[in-house]
Amino acid sequence: MKRIVNTDKAPAPIGPYSQAVQSGNTLFISGQIALDPSTGELRTETIESETTQVMDNLQAILAAAGMGFKEVVKTSIFITDMHLFSKINEVYGRYIDPASPPARETVEVANLPKFVRVEISMIAVKS
Protein backbone atom coordinates (compact mmCIF):
# COMPACT_ATOMS: atom_id res chain seq x y z
CA MET A 1 0.00 0.00 0.00
CA LYS A 2 1.28 3.45 -0.96
CA ARG A 3 0.68 6.51 1.22
CA ILE A 4 1.61 10.04 0.14
CA VAL A 5 3.31 12.07 2.89
CA ASN A 6 3.06 15.86 2.69
CA THR A 7 3.60 18.61 5.24
CA ASP A 8 3.42 22.37 5.06
CA LYS A 9 6.57 22.44 7.23
CA ALA A 10 8.59 21.51 4.13
CA PRO A 11 8.43 23.13 0.69
CA ALA A 12 5.68 22.05 -1.67
CA PRO A 13 6.94 20.01 -4.63
CA ILE A 14 7.99 22.10 -7.62
CA GLY A 15 6.92 19.40 -10.06
CA PRO A 16 4.72 16.31 -10.43
CA TYR A 17 6.03 14.40 -7.40
CA SER A 18 5.32 13.99 -3.69
CA GLN A 19 7.47 15.14 -0.79
CA ALA A 20 7.58 11.50 0.25
CA VAL A 21 5.89 8.18 -0.37
CA GLN A 22 5.50 5.53 2.32
CA SER A 23 5.15 1.90 1.32
CA GLY A 24 4.73 -0.37 4.31
CA ASN A 25 7.37 0.67 6.84
CA THR A 26 9.61 2.29 4.23
CA LEU A 27 9.59 6.03 3.51
CA PHE A 28 11.09 7.37 0.28
CA ILE A 29 11.78 11.11 0.56
CA SER A 30 12.18 13.11 -2.63
CA GLY A 31 15.28 15.24 -3.05
CA GLN A 32 15.07 18.40 -0.98
CA ILE A 33 16.68 21.71 -1.81
CA ALA A 34 17.03 24.84 0.33
CA LEU A 35 13.53 26.25 -0.17
CA ASP A 36 12.20 27.86 2.99
CA PRO A 37 8.63 26.51 3.36
CA SER A 38 7.42 29.64 5.15
CA THR A 39 8.53 32.07 2.41
CA GLY A 40 9.07 29.94 -0.70
CA GLU A 41 12.49 31.61 -1.04
CA LEU A 42 15.83 29.88 -1.41
CA ARG A 43 18.26 30.03 1.53
CA THR A 44 21.57 30.01 -0.29
CA GLU A 45 23.59 32.72 1.49
CA THR A 46 26.25 30.18 2.46
CA ILE A 47 26.62 26.48 1.80
CA GLU A 48 26.08 25.94 5.53
CA SER A 49 22.75 27.81 5.56
CA GLU A 50 21.73 26.03 2.37
CA THR A 51 22.51 22.59 3.80
CA THR A 52 20.79 23.47 7.10
CA GLN A 53 17.58 24.35 5.24
CA VAL A 54 17.77 21.10 3.27
CA MET A 55 18.20 19.08 6.48
CA ASP A 56 15.37 21.00 8.21
CA ASN A 57 13.10 20.18 5.26
CA LEU A 58 14.03 16.51 5.48
CA GLN A 59 13.44 16.53 9.24
CA ALA A 60 9.96 18.00 8.74
CA ILE A 61 9.03 15.31 6.23
CA LEU A 62 10.37 12.55 8.48
CA ALA A 63 8.31 13.97 11.37
CA ALA A 64 5.17 14.08 9.20
CA ALA A 65 5.63 10.32 8.73
CA GLY A 66 6.22 9.75 12.45
CA MET A 67 9.94 9.18 11.98
CA GLY A 68 13.25 10.86 12.63
CA PHE A 69 16.83 10.70 11.42
CA LYS A 70 17.42 7.52 13.46
CA GLU A 71 15.15 5.68 11.01
CA VAL A 72 17.11 6.84 7.94
CA VAL A 73 18.87 3.90 6.26
CA LYS A 74 20.06 5.54 3.03
CA THR A 75 20.99 9.07 2.00
CA SER A 76 21.85 10.41 -1.44
CA ILE A 77 23.63 13.75 -1.61
CA PHE A 78 24.01 15.62 -4.88
CA ILE A 79 26.36 18.60 -4.98
CA THR A 80 27.58 20.89 -7.75
CA ASP A 81 31.10 21.29 -6.38
CA MET A 82 32.95 18.53 -4.55
CA HIS A 83 35.08 21.23 -2.90
CA LEU A 84 31.98 21.99 -0.75
CA PHE A 85 31.82 18.41 0.55
CA SER A 86 33.45 19.03 3.94
CA LYS A 87 31.15 21.96 4.81
CA ILE A 88 28.05 20.05 3.69
CA ASN A 89 29.23 16.98 5.60
CA GLU A 90 29.74 19.03 8.76
CA VAL A 91 26.15 20.32 8.74
CA TYR A 92 24.76 16.90 7.73
CA GLY A 93 26.63 15.33 10.66
CA ARG A 94 24.82 17.58 13.17
CA TYR A 95 21.53 15.89 12.28
CA ILE A 96 22.63 12.27 11.91
CA ASP A 97 23.10 9.97 14.91
CA PRO A 98 26.82 9.07 14.85
CA ALA A 99 26.04 5.75 16.56
CA SER A 100 23.94 4.57 13.61
CA PRO A 101 24.69 6.59 10.47
CA PRO A 102 22.87 5.55 7.28
CA ALA A 103 24.48 4.28 4.10
CA ARG A 104 25.25 7.18 1.79
CA GLU A 105 26.66 8.34 -1.48
CA THR A 106 27.72 11.83 -2.49
CA VAL A 107 27.75 12.64 -6.19
CA GLU A 108 28.95 15.76 -7.97
CA VAL A 109 26.52 16.88 -10.68
CA ALA A 110 26.53 19.66 -13.27
CA ASN A 111 23.34 21.37 -12.09
CA LEU A 112 20.45 20.97 -9.65
CA PRO A 113 16.89 22.37 -9.56
CA LYS A 114 16.82 26.17 -9.26
CA PHE A 115 20.64 26.02 -9.62
CA VAL A 116 21.19 25.27 -5.91
CA ARG A 117 24.44 23.68 -4.76
CA VAL A 118 23.06 20.74 -2.74
CA GLU A 119 20.09 18.37 -2.89
CA ILE A 120 19.53 15.47 -0.51
CA SER A 121 17.12 12.55 -0.65
CA MET A 122 16.58 9.85 1.97
CA ILE A 123 15.06 6.44 2.58
CA ALA A 124 13.87 5.65 6.11
CA VAL A 125 12.44 2.47 7.65
CA LYS A 126 10.13 2.61 10.65
CA SER A 127 10.76 -0.23 13.11
- Three-state DSSP state, 1: coil
Distance CA(75)–CA(121), nearest Å, equals 6
Q: Residue 14's pLDDT band (boundaries 50, 70, 90)?
A: confident
Amino acid in position 81 = D
Element (H, E) at 104: strand 103-108
Domain edges within the chain: 2-125
Whether the predicted pLDDT of 127 surpasses 90: no
What CATH architecture does domain 2-125 belong to?
A: 2-Layer Sandwich (3.30)
- Whole-model pTM: value is 0.97
Distance CA(5)–CA(15), nearest Å, equals 15
**Longest Cα–Cα distance in the chain:** 41
Whether the predicted pLDDT of 74 surpasses 90: yes
